[in-house]
């Protein structure tokens, strides 16, 4: 499966992971390239990354109903599946693949997934 040059010994791998863990604990948010976010006992997870368009998260939502609080304006695009969304002062609506919804800053909102949903969220 791996050539001799591609193999990493368990000792070398552990040293690399320890160094990486040490560096991540001492890095500032401006230089952090990727962050793993876990919500609702792992039922919603995302990876955060700095992009040319600013900070973004790419995530997966498993079936369920969830309430989130948004500190900043969020622009969410559904990549896979459909999601029911209830934004402040609005009725429930269905958002599907390649569709976007915008969450106002400093508000809470509800979402509901019947099946797994994948999304990308840009923070403004």
Q: 64-90: b or e for each residue (b if 16 or more CB lie within 10 Å)?
A: eeeeeebeeebbbbbeebbbebbbeee
**Residues lower than pLDDT 70 in the chain:** 1-33
Tell me which architecture the domain covering 32-123 has in CATH. Sandwich (2.60)
The pLDDT, as a whole number, for residue 51 is 82
The pLDDT, as a whole number, for residue 50 is 86
């Amino acid at each position: 499966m791996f050539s001799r040059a591609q193999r990493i010994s368990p000792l070398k791998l552990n040293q690399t992971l320890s160094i990486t863990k040490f560096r991540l604990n001492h890095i500032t948010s401006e230089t952090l390239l990727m962050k793993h976010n876990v919500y609702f006992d792992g039922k919603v997870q995302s990876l955060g990354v700095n992009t040319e368009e600013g900070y973004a998260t790419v995530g997966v939502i498993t079936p369920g109903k969830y309430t989130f609080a948004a500190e900043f304006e969020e622009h969410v695009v559904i990549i896979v599946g459909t999601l029911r969304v209830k934004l402040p002062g609005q009725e429930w609506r269905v958002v599907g693949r390649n569709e976007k919804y915008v969450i106002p800053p400093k508000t809470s909102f509800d979402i509901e997934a019947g099946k797994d949903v994948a999304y990308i969220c840009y923070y403004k």
